[in-house]
């Protein structure tokens, strides 16, 4: 019986600890305030691609957060300035090589910068925390459109959905009936199967200026969103935004998410009214990013499965 033992080697756990120390040193040096926000929330994420874990505390319905984003933005609106935290987050239905239902994010926000400047900040952080044995060269930056064109041969903004479906099928990828008429669904599948795995193999790669329809919590500029993702070794590490501060627009996006959930037969999720109230009060101009720390450790040590870098995965918790 070995189920009591950690799945990660002790040397890897020591590497995790070293990388966390380096992250704290980086944020201290860059004058960001370390904060802590609640793991349990009365509200939940509305995104159709994420599933919250429900919980009950003192007889009340709560949800384990999928990200500390909403609470951290409440702190920004209250005047905290640049902030960051290491947080345990939870996502239902996510398990596999790169996923554990409970995992670690490093999330941070910088005032007065856009998503381009934040990409440079992400690059500096990764350079600061990676071990000397895993040097990361100067990053590559591609627009979303450039990356999709380069690695799949389709135009993400202009080609009809039928062309996207045909490209996926030509690569032997099954396209579910539920997304065959869904442009963003097909693009997500192209990114996850044809594009993402090709990125970041010789250096950190950023994809930026996503379609406006995939803005999430980012500002938009015409057809594009001020959003980026960072890849290393073909793995998505981080997702960042030049943050949307308009409460009415954010509420409309939440309502659109809920409509999408109804169409997919997914449960409705309570909107975070405290977060919207903070936006109404006034979010300072800022950019923010969430970085998957477990995945970064995987890249640092060459691990092939997330279980190799965490002490006790879901099955042993």
Separation between Cα atoms, residue 74 and residue 249, nearest integer Å: 17
Query: Would residue 187 count as lying in a domain?
Result: no
Residue 135 pLDDT greater than 90, yes or no:
no
Report yes or no on 206 lying in a domain: no
Residue 19 confidence (pLDDT) above 90: yes
Domain count of the fold of the chain = 1
Say if residue 1's pLDDT is above 80.
Answer: no
- Hey, CA dihedral for 74, 296, 29, 239, is it positive or negative? negative
Does the structure show a pLDDT above 90 at 202?
no
Question: Which pLDDT score, from 0 to 100, does residue 70 have?
Answer: 98
In a domain, 27, yes or no: yes
- Residues in Cβ contact with 124 at an 8 Å cutoff, skipping those fewer than 6 apart: 26
Task: Give me the percent of the chain exceeding a pLDDT of 70.
Answer: 100
Q: Is the pLDDT of residue 102 over 90?
A: yes
Across the chain, what does the average pLDDT equal?
Answer: 96
Mean pLDDT of 146-150: 98
Whether residue 2 lies inside any domain: the answer is: no
Q: Is residue 199 part of a domain?
A: no
Residue 43 · residue 273 · CB < 8 Å: yes
pLDDT score of 301 more than 80: yes
How far is it between the farthest Cα atoms of the chain? 58
Indicate whether 48 belongs to any domain.
yes
Query: For 10-26, what is the mean pLDDT?
Result: 98
Quick one: pLDDT at residue 94?
A: 78
Tell me, yes or no, whether 286 lies in a domain: yes
Q: Flag whether 91 is in a domain.
A: yes
Alpha carbon distance 247, 232 (integer Å): 34
Residues 58-76 have pLDDT tens digits of 999 999 999 999 999 999 9
pTM: 0.95
CA dist 12 and 306 (Å) reads 12
Q: What is the 3-state secondary structure (H, E, C) of 206-225?
A: EEEEEEHHHCCCECEECCEE
Q: Which domain holds residue 99?
A: 10-136+273-316
For residue 292, the domain's CATH number is 3.30.930.10
| Predicted pLDDT at 137 | 80
For every residue of 164-181, DSSP letters joined together read HHHHHHHTT----GGGTT
- What DSSP element (H or E) covers 14? helix 10-29
Query: What pLDDT score does 72 carry?
Result: 98
């Amino acid at each position: 019986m070995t189920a009591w033992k950690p799945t990660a080697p002790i040397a890897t756990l020591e590497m995790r600890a070293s990388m966390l120390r380096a992250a704290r040193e980086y944020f201290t040096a860059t004058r960001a305030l370390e904060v802590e926000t609640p793991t349990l929330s009365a509200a939940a994420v509305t995104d159709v691609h994420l599933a919250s874990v429900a919980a009950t505390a003192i007889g009340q319905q709560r949800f384990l957060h999928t990200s500390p984003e909403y609470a951290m933005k409440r702190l920004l609106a209250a005047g905290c300035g640049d902030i960051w935290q290491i947080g345990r987050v939870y996502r239902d239905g996510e398990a596999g090589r790169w996923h554990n239902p409970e995992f670690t994010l490093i999330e941070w926000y910088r005032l007065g910068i856009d998503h381009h400047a934040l990409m440079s900040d992400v690059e500096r952080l990764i350079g600061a925390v990676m071990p000397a044995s895993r040097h990361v060269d100067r990053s590559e930056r591609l627009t979303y459109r450039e990356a999709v064109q380069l690695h799949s041969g389709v135009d993400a903004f202009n080609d009809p959905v039928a062309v996207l479906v045909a490209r996926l099928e030509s690569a032997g990828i099954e396209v579910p009936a539920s997304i065959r008429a869904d442009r963003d669904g097909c693009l997500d599948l192209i990114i996850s199967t044809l594009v993402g795995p090709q990125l970041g193999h010789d250096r950190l790669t950023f994809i930026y200026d996503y379609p406006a329809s995939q803005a999430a919590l980012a500002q938009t500029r015409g057809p594009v969103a001020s959003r980026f993702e960072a890849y290393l070794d073909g793995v998505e590490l981080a997702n960042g935004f030049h943050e949307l501060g308009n409460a009415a627009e954010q509420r409309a996006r939440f309502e659109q998410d809920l409509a999408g959930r109804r169409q997919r037969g997914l449960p409705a999720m309570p909107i975070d009214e405290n977060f919207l109230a903070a936006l109404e009060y006034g979010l300072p101009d800022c950019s923010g990013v969430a970085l998957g720390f477990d995945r970064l450790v995987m890249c640092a040590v060459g691990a092939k499965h997330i279980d190799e870098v965490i002490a006790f995965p879901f099955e042993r918790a």
